[in-house]
Structures are given as C-alpha cells and as structure tokens.
Amino acid sequence: MGRLERPLAPDAGPVTAFARELRRLRTAAGSPGYRDMATRAMFSASVLSDAAAGYRLPTLQVALAFAEACGGDRATWERRWHEAARADGDEGSARPAVKAVQQHQENELRAADVRAVLPPPSQLPMEAHPLVGRRELLQRARALTAPSYGGQRPAAPLVISGQVGVGKTAFALRLAHELAVNLPDGQLYANLDPAADGRKDAAGIAGGFLEALGIPTDRIPNDPGQRIGLYRSLLNRRRLLVVLDGVQHERQIRELLIAAPESRIIITSRSRLLGLDGIGRIRLPALDRDESMELLAQLLGGDRVGSEPRACLRLADACGDLPLALNLAGRRIAARPEWMLQDSVSELLGDGPGGHDGRAGQRAPGRFLARLQIGDDALGNRLDSAYRLLTPWARLMLRQFAGSDNPPSVDNVVYESADALAMLVERSAQPVEDLLERLLDAGLLDHSDLPGQYGLTPMARAYALTQPDPTEEDPVPAAAAAAARSQAHVRQPG
C-alpha cells in the first residue's frame, strides 16, 4: 500500500494553489505512488508528499523533480514555481543564510532518500587473505587520505604504484575496507586492467558508477562531459569511496578525480602517473624477508614453514620477495600437502632433472616463471601485458639489463646504473635514463636506494631472458606495431 496523501493546507494562498496543481499533475499521471516517484526524482517520498501538501512552498529543485517524475514539462513548472514564489513574497526577499541552510538540508535529504530507496553500492572485491606487512605504509596512506588543516582542505586522491606483482590491489583493498566504515553512501570499484572486461574510458566509468548510485538510465546524460560532471557533483555531495584499480595512463581517469569534502578516491597503477597533479602518492616495494616468511606461513601453515624454514627461504629468494610470486607458489605447494616442503620447492624451482639450462648451478630462466600459475592467474601473463606496450628500444634496454654481468644482490635483485647501461647500448646516459624511467612506469623495474641506479627483480629478469632478441626485429614494422598498440590503448584504455 502506498503512502497516504497528506491533507491539503486549509488556506487558499498561492502556496496551497501550487500544491493543488502538483496533485492534479500526479492524478493525471495515474496517481503513481510516492515511493515510485522517489526512484525517479531522487528525493524521498516524504519530501515529495510535503511538496504537494501546501504548508510551505517546496524548493525549485524539489518542485521540478516532482513534476518530471509525473511527466510534467520542466519549463512550464519552473515558470509556475516562480509565479507562486512571487505571489507568496518568498522571491525577491531572499535570505541567503536561510536558503543556504535549506539547500544543505535538501542535499542531506536527497542522499538519505537514495539510501532508503536503493541499497548503497558495495562493489569492493573481497580480501582473499589478511594483508601481510605494510604497516608503516598503511599508516602513511591513512594520513594521506585524511582531510588536512582541521578538515578545511579535503583529502586528495591517492595513487598506489609499484612493479608487476608487488601487491598494489591487495594494499588498496585493505585501505579501502578500512575507509569504507566511515563512508556510508557506498563503495564504487572499477577494474581497468587490460585483461579485465568492462567500461574503460572516463565517460563509461562515470556512467557505470551513476547507475550503481541509483540514477535512472534515462537521467544519465548522453554527453560525456555532462555525465562526468554529474558524477563529480554526486561525489561532492555524498560520502563515497571510489577505487580505480589497474589504471593504465592519466587520460583514463583525470576527469574522474576530485578532492571532495567527504569522499575518498584510491588509484592503483604500475605507473606513477606523474601527469596527475594535486594527488598523494605511495610506491610499494617488495616485501622484506620476514614478511615473505609470514606470507608463506599464512598460505602453508605456520607449523609446516617452521619445520622446514630453509626451503621457504629458498623459495622467497627465488621469488624476489614479490607478493604475487609467493602467493602463486605457496598456493601451488599447498595443493599437495602430502609432499615434503623441501621436495615441493625443489620441484617448483626446477632443481630436478631437466630443470637446468646446461650450465652448472644455473636454472633455465623461464621454467620457474612458467610454473607460477594457478587457474587463470599467472605472473607471466601480467609481465607479458606490460612488455607488449614497450617500444623496441625499451625492450632492448630491458634485455641488456637482464643479461648484465652484475651478480644479484642479497635480495636476489640485479642492480645497474644508467651510466653502465648506456655504455652497453652505446648511447648517451640521458636517453637511456628516460628509457629506464619508462620501464619503471611499466612495472618492470624499480629504483634502488642510490641515485641513478635501478633494480631488476628475478621474476622480471627471467621473463626478459625468455623474450626474442629485440635487435632481430625489423625496426620499422616493430615501431609501427608499437604505435598501433599505443593508439588502440588510447581509444580503449586498459
């Protein structure tokens, strides 16, 4: 049963006359229920019912929403509202402070009504496992997503970047689930990774978010700019959490960003997205060795890891303490609990027959990487998606880096300076450093603690050594293919 109509105000003034006209419009539309009207008007049923009661003149926004929900003409009802306001003496004697309070209350009613009519979106994926380590980085992320200067300056969007497989999404989801507790109007999530399906450009992402927020399809603007503007307006009014996962480049999301008073935006990307201004940034490193052992204990069981710690240390070393590599390896080993841990690790690393490339003590570089696959998740696929976007020169630089004679450091990462790599390819240092920065933003390198020095993890190194020699490619077709990939990437980001 629908909401009962409130009795019409007893006086015969212009406000009551306007309310009577609203009732006639509703009757002519077939007397839709106020709850049904609320889903279209985006105001609560009680607010719409009050508008047709005649005790006070509704705001122009409420009156137009009521009229449009009943099929009324917007221009006609805007004219009628101004006539009623003039006749009532409300227009022309505006009291700015009172109207500002009324507008604030109206915004609150609108947001409260959306929550009453439709459940708030809860799009965050689940956290597969509790986050291991990252305590100091999480504390820093909380500070970066908190309003500053006593709440006078809203929190800026936060970019979480890092190399392939370093755990950006897991970190972002841990932070997001914490922040969501204080953001009751909902959580919006978009996976923009190239392997994921769905809308990829800013207007498409905004359209999907508007639908999730309960905006009827026929009220979502077709014009991309207006659609993005409506999305930003809602973000500014409500307490929402937005997670944009796997962003490829700045153009993909620049128009979606806003420093809203009470909403929060979290972005993950392999790239640092340096083209975005006015945002916070955190770059995730690989885990330290103790954190790697904690992750393996979570996957394999503390007793099992405690009884064979050496095998786990070998595995962590081979994975370069990369969370995704450890996760895939650990889940693969956990699927065979009857095996001794040492035997499982040796078999996975290729220490058995056929696992070496013929040189004493040297494993075939791609064998371990190829086995880091569980179901549809594989580290090699993610490295491949980053590699495909590189230019031939960047591929050559990665190959030269991977073939460096520098021995791996204690953390099994190969470090090399831009100057040394420039000598290998017989080019000046500046363009080589630019290439290295591109490789870093592709998620295939990382900075070291020393200026001008870069690190190559064992997983990325193994991948690079399995790729064809870029010097054997025909440079013209290769460059054309890279340009085509780049253009396709712009047309359909992700």
Tens-place pLDDT, residues 433-481? 888 999 999 999 988 888 888 999 899 999 999 998 776 655 444 444 4
The angle formed by the CA atoms of residues 456, 462 and 463, to the nearest 5 degrees, is 95
In the structure, what pLDDT confidence band is assigned to residue 489 with cuts at 50, 70 and 90?
A: very low
Token pair 């006539």 in the structure block, residue? 83
258: pLDDT strictly greater than 60: yes
Range of lowest pLDDT (1-10, 321-330, 424-433):
1-10
In the structure, what pLDDT confidence band is assigned to residue 429 with cuts at 50, 70 and 90?
A: low
330-356 pLDDT, tens digit each? 999 999 999 999 999 999 988 754 444
Token pair 């064998």 in the structure block, residue? 367
Tell me what the mean pLDDT of segment 379-403 comes to. Answer: 90
pTM of the model: 0.72
What is the per-residue pLDDT for 187?
Answer: 95
Largest CA distance in the chain: 100
* C-alpha–C-alpha distance, residues 266 and 243, integer Å: 5
Q: Are 52 and 17 in contact (CB under 8 A)?
A: no
The tokens describing 48, both together, are: 């719409």
Q: Above pLDDT 70, what percent of the chain?
A: 81
Work out the mean pLDDT of the chain and round it to a whole number. 82
Nearest C-alpha neighbor of 398 from the set 476, 461, 479: 461
What is the per-residue pLDDT for 487?
Answer: 44
* C-alpha–C-alpha distance, residues 398 and 418, integer Å: 12
Tell me what the mean pLDDT of segment 307-313 comes to. Answer: 93
Tell me what the mean pLDDT of segment 216-242 comes to. Answer: 88
Range of lowest pLDDT (40-44, 259-263, 458-462):
40-44
* C-alpha–C-alpha distance, residues 137 and 282, integer Å: 8
